[in-house]
Amino acid sequence: MNNAALFESVRLGPYTLKNRIVLPPLTRSRSSQPGNVPNDWMVEYYSQRAGAGFMVTEGTQIEPRGQGYAWTPGIHSQAQIAGWRAVTAAVHARGGVIFSSYGMSGGSRTARCSRAVRRRSRRRRSAPTRSASSSRPHRAKACSPRQANPRR
């Protein structure tokens, strides 16, 4: 197989990429605790891959409620921003291009909450009799972070 094209330079907006190889976003859950802070381990991980045309970071929460998985790095505290600066400085020193990928895991919570709400509605529909007060249309209860994500 001729894969020479993979190693050809290409323009991407303002960037001239060394090649056409991309590191996709991959959750690694390696941030330092407490605080979900990018650390030397992550500096090493991204530095090792800086030869790619460009890299996309692992999903990074922009605020605490956006965190979907344990130990994913955030980018909302000063310590986290400093940690990411160390990552990007190391990548740039190797001539790499890196884009941050912001994650907001609210969608997965909504899906879980929706399933819970649908189950509750089905139970209500199948109830044999209803008093006047319980026959009001069912209103979805807000899902608490603990209900939606028991790991937190």
Ligand X SMILES: Cc1cc2nc3c(=O)[nH]c(=O)nc-3n(C[C@H](O)[C@H](O)[C@H](O)COP(=O)(O)O)c2cc1C
- As a whole number of angstroms, the distance between CA 66 and CA 78 comes to 17
Minimum distance from residue 150 beta carbon to ligand X (Å): 20
One character per residue 97-116, x = contact with ligand X (rule: CB under 6 A): ----x---------------
Nearest to ligand X of 27, 88 (CB atom) = 27
Q: 49: helix, coil or strand?
A: coil
75 binding ligand X? (CB under 6 A)? no
One character per residue 16-35, x = contact with ligand X (rule: CB under 6 A): --------xxxx--------
Of the residues 50, 53, 54, 59, which one makes contact with ligand X according to CB under 6 A: 59
Minimum distance from residue 76 beta carbon to ligand X (Å): 16
Q: For residue 65, report the phi and psi dihedrals to the nearest 5 degrees.
A: -70, -10
- As a whole number of angstroms, the distance between CA 20 and CA 35 comes to 35
Helical ranges in the chain per DSSP H: 40-48, 78-93, 106-125, 145-148
102 in Cβ contact with 76 (< 8 Å): no
Minimum distance from residue 45 beta carbon to ligand X (Å): 13
Distance of CA 68 to the CA centre of its chain: 7
Q: Please, which residues have CB within 8 angstroms of residue 29's CB and are 6 or more apart in sequence?
A: 69, 70, 71, 72
Minimum distance from residue 96 beta carbon to ligand X (Å): 18
Of the residues 58, 66, 67, 98, which one makes contact with ligand X according to CB under 6 A: 58
- Note the residues at the interface with ligand X (CB under 6 A): 24-27, 58-59, 101
